[in-house]
Structure 1
Amino acid sequence: MDQRAELSEFLRSRRARLKPADVGLPDFGRHRRVPGLRREELAQLAGVSVAYYTRLEQGNGQNVSGEVLDAIARALRLTEAEQQHLTHLAKPTATKKKKAAYAKEQRVRPQLRYLLDSMDAVPAYLLGRRLDLLAWNRMAAALIGDFVELPPQERNFARHVFLDPTARERYVEWEDKAAEVVGVLRLCAGCYPDDPLLTALVGELSVKSDEFRTLWAAHTVRQKGHGTKLLHHPVVGELTLSYETLKMPEEHDLSLVTYYAEPGSASADSLRLLASWAADARGPGAGQPGDRPAPVTPPAPSP
């Protein structure tokens, strides 16, 4: 990806979303020729010269200091994830060694696979860089989908959300899920701007999905953290589940995502029913060929 263009477009998009009233400046209404703040207004708020900020917005961030980036982030009212993204774009730290690692296949330690297998009542999966799905347990396969049937190079969460028709049925609030995925992928792109596989993924999704292309152009950035999702499952119906994202301390490119239901809730009962259904799955390991739930068959009604 063109780092200079990404930096320029990101700053323009963040500046355009701010209204003068948001930062205590007068608004001249229809006489304003640009959406959001003007460059000189933003420069004034950040305490830098207009010429300096203009060079930065044109993609020239090579010599910018951390203090200036912090001031611009405050002026733009960036979130923590957005500020992190701005730093990656303005001061990329990719080395030849890091670039060479892009092409290497990410591998999951056996211990992490054992951990996934032991979580037999909790849907859990491991995400790598580019949101690649590296491993998952039977409960995740039962809840979200059977990724084992896909070629390894196609096991990617962004591809699942935008190109798999079942995802639109599974995620009740699909638009929110799609926006979240794109925001996380944007953050990945800032961290790994020279990753050819990530560039290819973004290109493929932009061609095949109008929704992805529109969301990508918005330059929204998000961290995948925690929250609540409403899902519709063909066997157990609707579930309201909370999720947590845990970063691996020594493997920063890996994230463990888990889903759980509030104790005593109807969703907890449904999750237990799903666990019973998933227990019939065949195969020896999480995320391995053959680890497939039984065909979807709704439980018989109670007499």
Structure 2
Amino acid sequence: MDGTNALGDYLRARREQVRPEDVGIRSIGVRRVPGLRREEVALLAGISSDYYLRLEQGRDRNPSVQVLEALAGVLRLDADATAYLLGLAQERSVPRQQPRGEQAPESIVELITGWPNNPAYVQNKYTDVLAVNALCAALSPNYAVGVNLLTAVLLDPREQDLRRDWDELTEEGVAVLRSELGPNVDDARLKDLVGDLSVRSERFRQLWARHEVRPRRGRLSKLTHPEVGDLDLRSDKLTIGGTDNVTLVVFHAVPGSRDEESLALLGSLVAPQDAPRVRPSEHRPE
């Protein structure tokens, strides 16, 4: 996590995940390395083996966009992963100081407070919860200000019981964190979060080693709630303007569905006087 060779580490990890037959190479005999060999990647990308070796070893850190796009094609990277690869090769800027006492914008807090039918919360790029409305808090005790959601989902057994899509959710969460890190290898908070999860979660270590990247986007959350049973909710993730990737996450059920009825039942169990609890989120994930 020192970031000294992020580009090389990523190339090597992705190379090991491409099967020779996926790129038209016949496998004869036993291969001693997983995925593609360095010289095979170089040949398919139209560059010399020595140059590719220098890229993986971090001895050449300024490949052209054309070379990186050629490598992305060989490694079968999608558009998001290709953008991530290009970002790794950019010259690193001086890391920005993270704001202390990061909070959700007051107007957003007022907005979600008035929503009786839509669970909603606000998180920063580290997945720390900054604000939450009452209906969202009723979905999980980990929808609470100050909780790091990625840590909670990976380490709290209650989350695995709650989420029927736990495998998919953890894959996505780790890939999004990898995207956030990207070339920002000097972000101390991100490094601390990755280090903490690497020590405490075998699942995280396995997923982190894949070097998969995804942008933060909406999804379908499949829950089994202890009070209302199975509940499938769509979510939208909206970046709040004027912030450092602070995101508003809003859930909703398909209109007229059984999920909408179950969500309404859950809402009836929430005391109407309950309001979102909002305070600065400074401490590290538990």
| Structure 1 segment 85-234 matched on structure 2, within 5 A | 85-95=84-94, 99-102=95-98, 104-148=100-144, 152=146, 155-234=147-226
Distance 1:133 1:80 in 2: 29
* Contact 2:15 2:36 (8 Å CA) reproduced: yes
Which whole-Å CA distance do the structure 1 matches of 2:59 and 2:269 have between them?
Answer: 56
Label 1:264 to 1:73 Cα distance change in 2 as closer, same or farther (>3 A).
Answer: same
| Cα-to-partner distance string for 1:187-218 (whole Å, 9 max, x where unaligned) | 11215211112211111112222222222222
Q: 1:114 to 1:147 in 2, by over 3 A?
A: same
Higher mean Cα deviation, 103-112 or 182-191? 103-112
Give, in whole Å, the separation in 2 of the partners of 1:258 and 1:198: 24
Q: How does 1:1-303 map to 2 (within 5 A)?
A: 1-30=1-30, 32-60=31-59, 62-95=61-94, 99-102=95-98, 104-148=100-144, 152=146, 155-278=147-270, 280=271, 282-284=273-275, 286-288=276-278
Gaps of 5+ in 1: 290-303
Q: Name stretches of at least 5 consecutive residues in structure 2 with no aligned partner.
A: 280-286
Higher relative contact order (CA 8 A, sep 6+): 2
Q: Given the two structures, how large is their TM-score scaled by the length of structure 2? A: 0.89
* One-letter identity of the residue aligned with 1:16: E
Over 3 Å counting, the alpha-carbon distance change for 1:78 and 1:105 in structure 2 is: farther
Secondary structure at 1:135's aligned position in 2?
strand
SS in 2 for 1:131: coil
Please tell me whether the aligned partners of residues 4 and 60 of structure 1 are also in contact (alpha carbons under 8 angstroms). no
The Cα shift of 1:271 comes to 0.8
Identity of aligned residues (%): 38
| Residue pair 1:241, 1:267 contacting (<8 A) in 2 also | yes
What is the alpha-carbon distance in structure 2 between the residues aligned to residue 109 and residue 187 of structure 1? 24
Report the residue type matching 2:168 in the other structure. Answer: D
Q: Contact 1:61 / 1:90 at 8 angstroms: preserved in 2?
A: no
Number of residue pairs matched by the alignment: 279
RMSD, aligned CA:
2.1
- 1:192/1:131 CA distance change after superposition, 3 Å: farther
